[in-house]
Structure 1
Amino acid sequence: MERITAVIFDMDGLMFDTEQLYERTWGQAVSEQGKVFTREIHSLIMGRSKADSAQVLLDVYGPDFPVQKVIDRQTPLFFEALQTEQIPAKKGLFPLLDALEQRGLKKAVASSSQPKKIDFLLKQHGLEHRFDCVVSGHQVHASKPNPEIFLLTAEQLGEPPANVLVLEDSNAGIRAAHNGGFRSILIPDLCKLEPDVLQLCLRKVDSLDDVISIIDAINGR
């Protein structure tokens, strides 16, 4: 098995506990249009771009659903909440970053979120200088489960997919990693797992605390 030389982090629900805030703000925006937003629907849009999320909502609620009104409402709701609420880091994030740095492994963030959202959360937690590169969904044409964002990130890291480990919390993210030839670890958050996703990842673990021992085992440390 190839050594792991770099790790790519998804952000929402993986690094930071943002998915509950997404679910709440999407739910408010959808309810204002007279519909019910469930966790199952939220699972379908996790990790996807706004354009892909819009299509999911149209598929769920019908072609006449005012999806642009919902998107235009959800985005400011989310940013308003960011200004007033401290979004906690996920368990094990800081120890994992320390351990990766001690081992000389490269680190990157690859998130479908807007660049200003990524920058805000990284700065809020003092992490803006701890990654070799940060790639947003605005830098690619296709969103997860297309592997484009991970392939671009690996290219910026200067590492082939076979040597890069992807950390994800969503079905779309695990599928994207698999489609790009990456190994991945699933750390589920709110997402309802699709039956075949566990077969596409290296391991499923409870928290980021469990990741470094897997990397050490692969790298023979």
Structure 2
Amino acid sequence: MSSTKIGKMTEFKNVTHCIFDMDGLLLNTESLYTRATQEICDPYGKTYTWQLKQTLMGMSTYEVANKITKELGLPLSAEEYQELAAEKYKVLFPGSQLMPGAEKLVKHLKQKGVPIAVATSSSIESYNLKTQNHKEFFALFHHIVNGSSDPEVTGGKPDPSIFLVCASRFPDKPSPHMCLVFEDAPNGVTAAKKAGMQVVVVPDPHVSKDLTEGATLCLSSLEDFKPELFGLPPYDE
């Protein structure tokens, strides 16, 4: 039974371009981030709670490290935390898997000629680790914006710059209102709205519902997305 939440049909406006977040939306890496973070916290007797995690999702690499060390009182600098985390990511990230419905939707949009791109807060190094076994899939996107490495991205989500930069790199430079963002995190929803874009959110079941209420559409899985709601080509019968 789908937990799709939609409003009136008039709330959805037609779009021409789609922008995808990556972690927790296309790849199951959010669970890997949680595992790595807890392993760093264990020697200090600290617990990485869901309440803290949901405030970090979508932030840049440095912003995450800085907030975790301060919030949990870890005797580490943000730079030291990043070094420890990077070592754990080298082991965990290559095992990342595509989320349900991701491959079907992305391949469908590509086949139908809909311009698609990725806007991820991950650095280039982190992105390469996560996608090394999914190169054909990520080659379907016109371009990838790596927020933590891109000099044009002036702040992590909820700052809207990553989505505005991503939209500007399509050849036809669409207006923000013609772009549909796919996200899993509250910070990403806020960033997309600030950018003037509609946003479909597929949140982790643990995310507080009030944090995703601002989304244009809330789904339990990408498998539930109906492209025609936003004027995109429907799936072939």
Normalising by structure 2, we get a TM-score of 0.83
**1:99–1:61 CA distance, 2 compared to 1 (3 A):** same
8 Å Cα contact 1:6-1:105 kept in structure 2: yes
* 1:1-221 matches, cutoff 5 A: 2-62=13-73, 65-68=75-78, 69-83=80-94, 86-125=95-134, 126-137=136-147, 138-139=149-150, 140-157=153-170, 158-189=173-204, 192-193=207-208, 195-198=210-213, 200-211=214-225, 213=226, 215-219=227-231
What percentage of residue pairs aligned between the two structures are identical? 27
State the alpha-carbon separation in 1 of the partners of residues 101 and 33 from structure 2: 22
8 Å Cα contact 2:192-2:198 kept in structure 1: yes
Tell me the CA shift for residue 127 of structure 1. 1.9
State the alpha-carbon separation in 2 of the partners of residues 144 and 96 from structure 1: 24
Amino acid at match of 2:216: L
**1:128–1:205 CA distance, 2 compared to 1 (3 A):** closer
SS at match of 2:203: coil
8 Å Cα contact 1:119-1:128 kept in structure 2: no
State the alpha-carbon separation in 1 of the partners of residues 206 and 83 from structure 2: 24
State the alpha-carbon separation in 2 of the partners of residues 188 and 131 from structure 1: 22
Going by fraction, where is helix more abundant, 1 or 2?
A: 1
Residue deviations 1:49-68, cap 9 Å, x none? 12221342244234x74243
Residue deviations 1:162-181, cap 9 Å, x none? 01000000011001001110
Specify every segment of 5 or more residues in structure 1 that has no aligned partner in the other structure, as ranges.
none
Tell me the CA shift for residue 102 of structure 1. 3.0
Q: What is the count of residue pairs matched by the alignment?
A: 215
State the alpha-carbon separation in 2 of the partners of residues 55 and 190 from structure 1: 26
Please give the root-mean-square deviation of Cα atoms over the aligned residues, in Å. Answer: 2.0
Structure 1: 4+ residue segments shifted above 6 A: none
**1:29–1:129 CA distance, 2 compared to 1 (3 A):** same
SS at match of 1:8: strand
Specify every segment of 5 or more residues in structure 2 that has no aligned partner in the other structure, as ranges.
1-11
SS at match of 2:51: helix
